[in-house]
Chain A
Amino acid sequence: MDWRAFEISLALAFWTLAVLVPLSTLIARALAWRRFPGRGLVEALVALPLVLPPTVLGFYLLESFSADSLLGGFYQSVTGELLAFSFQGLLLASVIFNLPFAVQPIQRSFEAIQPNIREAAWVSGLSNWSTFWRIELPLAWPGFVSALALTFAHTLGEFGVVLMVGGNIAGETRTAAIAIYDRVQAFDNAAAAQMSAVLLLLSIVAISVVNLTARRQRRSRG
């Protein structure tokens, strides 16, 4: 059993959430309530990783991470390190391929908030910021729980993009999903079976969390 790989998967999942939750909140809120030019385009771009083959995403990311590309070159000139085959590169990829899993549930739950509730808050003298904290967030929390669970599970499970961009480097980019593939190739089925069982369990927990919050949300809405 490759515990280091699980550590990397968990670190990747938590960092992805740490970056993605604030980012998705901004995007989801704008998509739910603002009408701006190019809104449809933004919505389509956010959904794109859902339908894009992981190898296509992996190919473009790998290209843009290389030292002679704009992004990869900029990163290297600032940090002195290469973005491809590094944990940081993996994190950036993870944020991109998880965008729809985080933004969409949050956006749906913002959209479900009646406009008159927010208007009532403003009329009562609440600032935009306190309206957000006291009214919007508490009403939208089931969307956040879904986003957390889906992003977490999806980060743990993503394979194609991680293999292409990360390159199966022990202690750096070898996540649990990659380690399972690696163990199968080494005919170490016992380790592969153990790690698969852990990932299966985590996925069941994640999907239960999503279903339970969805049910609670339905019940509370009546």
Chain B
Amino acid sequence: MRPEPDSRRTGPRYTPSRRHLLISAAVVASAAALCGTPARAAESPLVAAASSLQFALPEIVHLFERETGRSVRVTFGSSGNLMRQIIQGAPFELFLSADESYTRALAARGLAPGEGKIFAQGRLVLFAASGSALKVDADMTGVGAALGAGKLRRFSIANPEHAPYGMRAREVLRHKGLWEKIKSRLLLGENVSQAAQFAATPGADGGLIAYSIAITPNFAKRGRSALIPSAWHAPLNQTMLLLNPAEETARAFHSFVGSAEAQAILARYGFTIPSPQ
């Protein structure tokens, strides 16, 4: 009888390992074939929307889907960032910006067939989470006092470089003479939604964020807020612009945002509705 082969000398077993390899290769190949690459043409149009619309717009989209049976896909972000992506060729058909300067810039570059249309106006609120000691008042005396006493550690706004609500927050802080002192204490959100996120965390004492976010029940229960007078900053004109690739569904959605039903939803989320010209 032959002795049992020494497993050390024969090394790893060959057959099962090769089978293993072939099986994994087969799994990868078939799964890849099954998944396929996502098709672009068959899907609903892409809409780029300012983060201030994070809560109002899904309701409008939902209503649009129910009434027309058609759908749109929304990407939220800071208006400046979305504009950059559109310039770089991102396949959006409609842009809902929180500021009209961006839609104007896109139209000037020939990326849109027409002009932008203002559909609502946004507002800023001062917000502080329940655990924060900050006094929340529309005049912002609480922020000034806390800053003077060295008690304000972190204050959140959206990035003023590319987020309209951040730019307006900077204007408000400059108007109140607080900018130079508060600059080093700022938490900058990538967009106003993230700024709101930061403002609601225990790490921040407060922030200047979009009324349309602070007004949602889920957010409102996290703290206190006070509406900032709109005279303290340039208007936050929410502007929509149909882009060159826009087809029928995007056009239908564009007019739907201007409809009475959609405007009622926007008003419910704290947007000021422009009077018809």
Contact = CB atoms under 8 A, between A and B. Distances in A.
**Do these two chains really belong together in a complex?**
yes
Interface of A: 7-8, 10-11, 14-15, 17-18, 21, 62, 66-67, 81-82, 84-88, 91, 133-134, 137-139, 141, 144-145, 148, 167-172, 174, 182, 184-187, 217, 220, 222
Interface string B15-45: 0011011001100110110011110100100
Given A7-B35, A18-B29, A220 B11 contact: yes
A86 B88 contact: no
B37 A87 contact: yes
B164 to A, nearest CB: 16
Contacts of B43: 171-172
B232 to A, nearest CB: 26
Contact of B46 (A18, A133, A169): A169
Given A18-B32, A82-B91, A170 B73 contact: yes
B167 to A, nearest CB: 19
A136 B165 CA distance: 60
Contacts of A11: 32, 35-38
Pairs of residues from A and B, 4 with the lowest C-beta to C-beta distance, nearest first: A11-B35, A170-B73, A14-B32, A220-B12
Contact of A169 (B32, B35, B91, B193): B91
A170 B75 contact: yes
B191 interface: yes
B8 interface: yes
A148 to B, nearest CB: 6
Given A138-B12, A172-B43, A186-B76, 7 more contacts: A87-B37, A91-B37, A139-B11, A141-B18, A145-B24, A185-B193, A185-B194
A84 B54 CA distance: 24
A66 B90 CA distance: 10
A8 B38 contact: yes
Nearest to B89: A82
The A interface is mostly helix, strand or loop, or mixed, namely helix
Contacts of B191: 185
A217 B20 CA distance: 14
A41 B224 CA distance: 58
B101 interface: no
Contacts of B25: 21
A18 B75 CA distance: 29
Contacts of B55: 186
A185 B12 CA distance: 50
Highest count of chain A CB atoms <10 Å: which of B20, B89, B219: B89
B89 A67 contact: yes
B32 A17 contact: yes
B31 A14 contact: yes
B219 A15 contact: no
Given A220-B11, A220-B12, A15 B89 contact: no
Contacts of A62: 88
Interface string B72-91: 01111100000001001111
Contacts of A7: 35, 38
A139 B73 CA distance: 48
Contacts of A86: 40, 91
Highest count of chain B CB atoms <10 Å: which of A8, A82, A168: A168
Interface string B231-243: 0000000000000
A138 B18 contact: yes
Contact of A185 (B38, B74, B76, B216): B76
19 contacts: A14-B28, A14-B31, A14-B35, A66-B88, A84-B89, A84-B90, A85-B91, A91-B37, A138-B14, A141-B21, A168-B77, A169-B73, A170-B74, A174-B75, A184-B197, A185-B76, A185-B194, A186-B193, A187-B197
Nearest to B7: A220
A187 to B, nearest CB: 6
B51 interface: yes
Nearest to B72: A170
A170 B28 CA distance: 24
